[in-house]
A and B are shown apart, each in its own frame.
Chain A
Amino acid sequence: MYKIKKDNIPKFIDILLKEYEVIAPTKVHGDAVYAVLSSGDEFIDEHTLASPKEFVYPQIEKLFEYKFEKLKFTVHYELDTTKRVIMGIKPCDLRGIERLDVIFENDPYYLSRRKNTVMIAFACAKPCEHGFCKDLGGPSLDKGYDLQFTDIGEYYFIQVGSKRGSAIIDMTKDLIEKATDDDEKTRESVIEKTIKQLPDIKVKGIEKVLEWDMPVVEEYASKCISCGGCNFVCPSCFCYNVADIPVDGAGWRQRDWDSCLLPGFTRMASGENPREEAKSRMRQRLFHKFKYFYEVYLEYQCTGCGRCYQVCPVKIDLRDFIKRVWEGGK
């Protein structure tokens, strides 16, 4: 159990920067966004629009380059082995990445990044504006982090979750202090207070009451403008599109984030589309989050971060969805 004075955070990051690429929330033209920091004083402890998913699973990535010469194909690929720290990742976002882990368990590109990324989580000392994580894990992590920071006033309380986490404590030991039992109690009360302030939205068991034809799904579908934003900011959405980009007998294969709300996502070569209607696409997204994923992995593919609502141009709100499903889906 450790703690660090808030004033020392910039120095803490500056030490990490000697060995790692440090990713953390910072201010860009008035917005809090995750970025690769160049110095510790750029850090802000603020809620961002998107999860930092793109640092383990990029929006777009080259899978391999190919060449066709003298009737022979050659393929070249490289894995990203940059050592990174994501500092300030929220519990919901880290849980989202854990959902990606099971999907990408054999994906070398993902695994290389994931393995090389240290997670310094920031438990939520106050509820965010649109989160509803109470029944989906809550504002603090029990596992999965390398270090977990909690704002307890003048200090951040630090929990160590792994050897990599301890190594970072060693690296920065001049800035770190031992935490007291009182500090730990403060941390617990901070988290309890956050939990109390979170909306009471029950999710567990929802897979059993979801029905195929619920009017709420149709209502959302009629509004959805197929921007893909909910998928892109979601910490646990993982679908991608694959494309070959040819250049004179050579080229590369790339993948980039896709969205199940786009009609072309399931369109076949003939032009036929099993999810032709907006309603069936909307249902796929919602059912995947709250039913299909659960049936396979016994966990929801939603961590209650509320980011999809924030980014949605027509304000489709999963909190509203969940409540209405319990009430019969009208």
Chain B
Amino acid sequence: MDVVYTICPFCGVGCGLNVRVHDRRVVSVLPAKNHPVNQGALCIKGWKSFQFVHSPQRLTDPLMKKNGEFVKVSWNEALDFVAKRLKEVKEKYGPDSIMFLSSAKCSNEENYLLQKLARAVIGTNNVDHCARLCHSSTVSGLISAFGSGAMTNSINEIYETDAIFVIGSNTTEQHPIIGSKIINAVSNGTKLVIADPRRIQLSNFADVHMRHLPGTDVALLNGMAHVIIKEELYDKDFIENRTEGFEEFKKLVEKYTPEYVSEITGVPPDLIIKGAKIYAEAEKAMIFYAMGITQHVAGTENVMAVANLALLTGNVGKPGTGVNPLRGQNNVQGACDMGGLPDYLPGYARVDDDEKRKRYEEVWGVKLPSKVGLTLTEAIDLVKAGEIKGMYIMAENPVLSDPDQCTVIEALERLEFLAVQDIFLTETAEHAHVVLPATTWLERSGTYTNTERRVQIFNKVLEPYANTMPDWKIICEISNRLGYPMNYNSPKEILDEINKVAPIYGGITWERLSKSYGLQWPCWDENHPGTPYLHAKKFTRGKGKFNALEWKAPPEWRDDKYPFIMTTGRVYYQWHTGTMTRKIPVLEREAPVPIVEMNPEDMKELKIRKNELVRITSRRGSIDAYVRINEYLPKRVVFVPFHYKESPVNKLTGDFLDPISKIPELKVTAVKIEPVR
């Protein structure tokens, strides 16, 4: 039989796929009908997902830069070189001079091994990944409010809730199967409130669409809280028994009247009142949010402000409620769970917690560093400062995904040692000293954790292409060469170890996963059924905490010289830096060129036609893009996706960081726009 069940590699929804192989090539993909998440459906990316695997542009052999040019080398030469250079850099500059980037595209097992390589072998907590750029503020914000930084509830609870509030998420485009469930729920009578500067497909179904200006989320959310308190729609029992900090919060939001908030956000006062009432009057209500909340200088505060609303109305700890961050990458939840973060060991034990660290030291047989490591965004700056000398990047493409591209490239070029492990020669890999060719998801197995904390096995469908090697094997080979043996024969053996060290994964064994559609953490032991929703009787931190927060204006705002606010994001048909989707013809046809969405009134003022090429300029650089009309964008706000290497929007964004989570401000950049003629 030639069909294998596996999991989609794109977004955090984690849909089940049935993949058919003929003559060592994938010939078809079908949605898994009985999978609890996708239930027989897929988005267009899922349907076309397999095609990049057979791209002739795949890396086939290890590459080393000799005299400025990449040459093919043997695995032995490449791996020996990586081990030698890591050792040399460590000896010369110390373990904290090396930065590791793990990957939200790789499996739990691979992320686990990479952070182990950093911590147990090199001896540094300098390990981070692209969650820094998407949901690091969720982790910090929700840990502060609830004690756990993950989606509190489950996807299918959309079908049992009474109201849904979506803020900063274009759900049908970026988490299409979740978006479709929201549409289905609304068709059956669930109320829907949207807050988003852009009109999105879900707006078709919304009872209220609040189009607030980018960067004004805290004001809007405080305004909704103000209405809920004033109208006495808050849950007094819940606040009394399960939360702390309410009085201070109540005092603070007093001044956030609908009129005051309207001035800041541009949303009419009556819409704020209506939106707040729908959310608060529902017996059960769910909040969904994504990058529109997190990718701000005030990212952590935005997340806390979202959590405040749920605490205020008692919408946490039961089915059909919760604060539900939609995780972007297929395994960004897992990469965080596995300790691909500079401050957490696998299972969220803090690196500076001497008591908890002991458990890991016993299993790993070494003393571990206790100093919190560097975030990805900080590390780039420290390369410039000369403190970071070596970097090891697994399956990430910071040249396109990180803010302020010129600075990133300059930093990578300055490194004494850069190794990149990927499936294509990415824009980042081009700057490496050595490139290690990895396999795609179809050529190995492992586990991914989706946005609702569901850990699932993805099965191997094909043998590795050409001379490529699975990521977990590459890490083992390097570790062995550094004198710390990693002798795992399969991903299963790695998961066995994860079961031992990370209590929330305690009962998530390979055997159980291979017979099921996954298990949701926390799952403490082999008999535990998994946890569909968190904080049922008590919050992870004890009591839920209200954070009283003032709205602060973003660091950069439109002015006479740069009269537009640019917000960045993604389009339905492309995936992140386009490494995979741009090699899939139907997807590339759908979104082949860099675009900028503009309001027709702005276009008229600037005398710009539809589809015309324009130059977008910020304080840091310029890019060109084709104009698309979005009549529902607020005036003087434009939207630009970040997929395109020919027009990298992160040349324009600034390196303003959230002081708590270090997430960059990717949603508010002041720009000007001129036609290119």
B-contacting residues of A (Cβ < 8 Å)?
Answer: 26, 28-33, 35-38, 42, 49-50, 54, 58-60, 222-223, 225-229, 232-233, 241, 243, 245, 247, 251, 254, 256, 258-259, 262-264, 267, 270-272, 310-315
Chain A, Cβ-Cβ closest to B180 = A313
Task: Tell me, rounded to whole Å, the shortest Cβ–Cβ distance linking A158 to chain B.
Answer: 25
Give the interface size bracket for B toward A: 35 or more
Cα-based distance from A272 to B629 in the complex (angstroms) = 12
Q: Within 8 Å CB of B183, what residues of A?
A: 223, 225, 314
B43 to A: closest C-beta gap in Å? 5
Q: How far is the CB of A32 from chain B (nearest CB, A)?
A: 8
Shortest B420–chain A CB gap in Å is 23
Instruction: Please state if B1 and A38 are interface contacts (CB–CB under 8 Å).
Output: yes
Residue B201 lies at the interface, judged by CB distance under 8 Å to chain A: yes
Are the CB atoms of B32 and A264 closer together than 8 Å? no
Could you write out 13 A-B pairs with CB less than 8 Å apart? A28-B18, A31-B33, A49-B30, A49-B33, A225-B172, A227-B176, A256-B48, A258-B586, A263-B590, A270-B611, A271-B611, A272-B611, A312-B41
Q: How far is the CA of A26 from the CA of B4 in the complex (A)?
A: 12
Q: Which residues of B contact A233 (CB under 8 A)?
A: 30
Inter-chain contacts of B586 with A (CB < 8 A): 241, 256, 258, 262, 264
Given contacts A228-B47, A270-B611, A312-B41, 18 further A-B contacts (CB under 8 A): A28-B1, A28-B18, A33-B30, A36-B22, A38-B1, A50-B30, A225-B43, A225-B172, A227-B41, A243-B589, A256-B48, A259-B44, A263-B590, A311-B40, A313-B176, A314-B183, A314-B187, A315-B187
Would you list the 9 A-B pairs with minimal beta carbon distance, nearest first? A313-B180, A271-B611, A29-B5, A243-B585, A313-B41, A264-B590, A247-B56, A35-B3, A59-B28
**Could you say which of A31, A263, A312, A313 contacts B5, with CB atoms under 8 Å apart?**
A31
**Smallest beta-carbon distance B281→chain A, Å:** 26
User: Quick check: A49 and B40 within 8 Å, CB to CB?
Assistant: yes
- Chain B binding surface SS class: mixed
Chain B residues, Cβ within 8 Å of A314: 180, 183-184, 187
* Contact residues in A for B177 (Cβ distance below 8 Å): 313
Closest partner residue, chain B, to A26 (CB atom): B1
For residue B181, which residue of chain A has the nearest CB? A313
Q: A31-B32, A31-B34, A245-B56 are in contact. Are A227 and B2 (CB under 8 A)?
A: no
What is the bound-complex CA distance between A314 and B39, given in angstroms? Answer: 11
Docked CA distance A222–B56 (Å) = 38
**A54 to B28, Cβ gap below 8 A?**
yes
Contact with A along B1-44 (1 / 0, CB 8 A): 11111000000000010101010000111111110000011111
A227 with B42: in contact, given A28-B18, A31-B32, A313-B177 (CB under 8 Å)?
A: yes
Decide: B180 and A225 in contact? CB cutoff 8 A. yes
* C-alpha gap A313/B178 in the complex (Å): 9
- Residue from A31, A271, A310 within 8 A of B18 (CB atoms): A31
| A108 and B195 alpha carbons, distance in the complex (Å) | 53
Task: Determine if B204 and A229 form an interchain contact, defined as CB atoms under 8 angstroms apart.
Answer: no
Chain A residue nearest in CB terms to B514: A29
A228 to B44: give the CA distance in the assembly, Å: 6
Question: Within 8 Å of chain A (Cβ to Cβ): is B578?
Answer: no
- What residue in chain B is nearest A36 (Cβ atoms)? B2
User: Distance in Å from the Cβ of B137 to the closest Cβ of chain A?
Assistant: 28
Complex Cα distance, B584 from A241, in Å, reads 11
Cβ of B47: which chain A residues have Cβ within 8 Å of it? 227-229, 232
Give chain B nearest CB distance to A57 CB in angstroms.
11
Most chain B CB within 10 A, of A59, A243, A245, A313, is at A313
Indicate whether B156 reaches chain A with its CB closer than 8 angstroms: no
Verify B18–A225 contact, CB threshold 8 A. Answer: no
- B590 proximity list for chain A (CB < 8 A): 262-264
Q: CA separation between A49 and B591, bound complex, in Å?
A: 29
Q: Is B610 an interface residue (CB 8 A)?
A: yes
B178–chain A nearest beta-carbon distance, Å: 10
Nearest CB in chain A: distance from B93 CB, A = 41
* B201: chain A residues within 8 A (beta carbon): 222, 225
Q: Interface on B for A, CB 8 Å cutoff?
A: 1-5, 16, 18, 20, 22, 27-34, 40-44, 46-48, 51, 55-56, 172, 176-177, 179-181, 183-184, 187, 201, 204-205, 572-573, 585-586, 589-592, 610-611, 626
Residues of A within 8 A of B184 (CB): 314-315
**What residues of chain A lie closer than 8 Å to B42, measured between beta carbons?**
227, 229, 311, 313
B28 touching A311 by the CB < 8 A rule?
no
Interchain nearest-CB distance for A24 vs B (Å): 10
- A28 CA to B479 CA, complexed, in Å: 37
Q: How far is A38 from B610 in the complex, measured between Cα atoms in Å? A: 55
A197 to B637: give the CA distance in the assembly, Å. 56
Give Cα distance in the complex from A78 to B648, angstroms: 41
Q: Once the chains are docked, how many angstroms separate the CA of A247 from the CA of B46?
A: 26
CB <8 Å contact, A226 and B572: yes
Nearest CB of chain B from residue A176's CB, rounded to whole Å: 26
Whether B204 pairs with A241 at a CB distance below 8 angstroms is: no
A135 to B193, CA, bound (A): 42
Instruction: Evaluate contact between B31 and A311: CB separation under 8 angstroms.
Output: yes
Instruction: List, in ascending order, chain A residues with CB within 8 A of B187's CB.
Output: 223, 314-315
Question: Which residue of chain B lies nearest to A39 when distances are taken between CB atoms in the complex?
Answer: B1
Alpha-carbon distance A256/B54, docked complex (angstroms): 14
Q: Which of A58, A228, A264 contacts B28 (CB 8 A)?
A: A58
CA distance in complex: A225, B205 (Å): 13
**In the complex the two chains form, what is the Cα distance from A28 to B5 in whole Å?**
7
When the two chains form the complex, which single residue of A35, A232, A254, A264 contacts B589, counting CB atoms closer than 8 Å? A264
Min Cβ gap B30→A in Å is 5
In the bound complex, residues from chain A placing their C-beta under 8 Å from that of B32 are 29-31
Distance of A268 from chain B, by nearest CB (Å): 10
B residues within 8 A CB of A35?
1-3, 20
Instruction: Quote the shortest CB–CB distance from B600 to chain A (angstroms).
Output: 14
Separation of A89 and B47 alpha carbons in the complex (Å): 23
Kindly state the separation between the CA atoms of A299 and B28 in the bound complex, as whole angstroms.
29
| Residues of A with C-beta under 8 A to B610 | 271
Q: How far apart are the CA atoms of A225 and B176 in the complex, in Å?
A: 7
Residue of B nearest to A263 (CB): B590
Q: Report Cα–Cα, A270/B610, bound state, in Å.
A: 10
Among residues of A, the one whose C-beta sits closest to the C-beta of B57 is A247
A33 B34 Cβ-Cβ under 8 A: no
Q: CA–CA, A103 to B585, complex, Å?
A: 23
Contact of B44 among A38, A262, A267, A310 (CB under 8 A): A262
**CA of A32 to CA of B5 in the docked complex: distance in angstroms?**
12
Task: Tell me which of B29, B201, B591 has the highest count of chain A C-beta atoms within 10 A of its own C-beta.
Answer: B201
Considering only CB atoms, which chain B residue lies closest to A240 in the complex?
B586
Residues of B contacting A26 with CB < 8 Å? Answer: 1, 3
Determine the distance from Cα of A284 to Cα of B48 in the docked complex, in whole angstroms: 22
Q: Cβ of A29: which chain B residues have Cβ within 8 Å of it?
A: 5, 16, 18, 32
> Which B residues lie within 8 Å of A263 (CB)?
590
Chain A residue nearest to B32 in the complex (CB) = A31
Q: State whether B3 touches A28 (Cβ < 8 A).
A: yes
CB nearest neighbor in B for A310: B40
Chain B residues in 8 Å Cβ range of A229: 31, 41-42, 47
When chains A and B are docked, how far (Å) is the Cα of A42 from the Cα of B183?
A: 38
What CA separation (Å) do A228 and B20 show in the bound complex?
A: 19
A57 to B31, CA, bound (A): 18
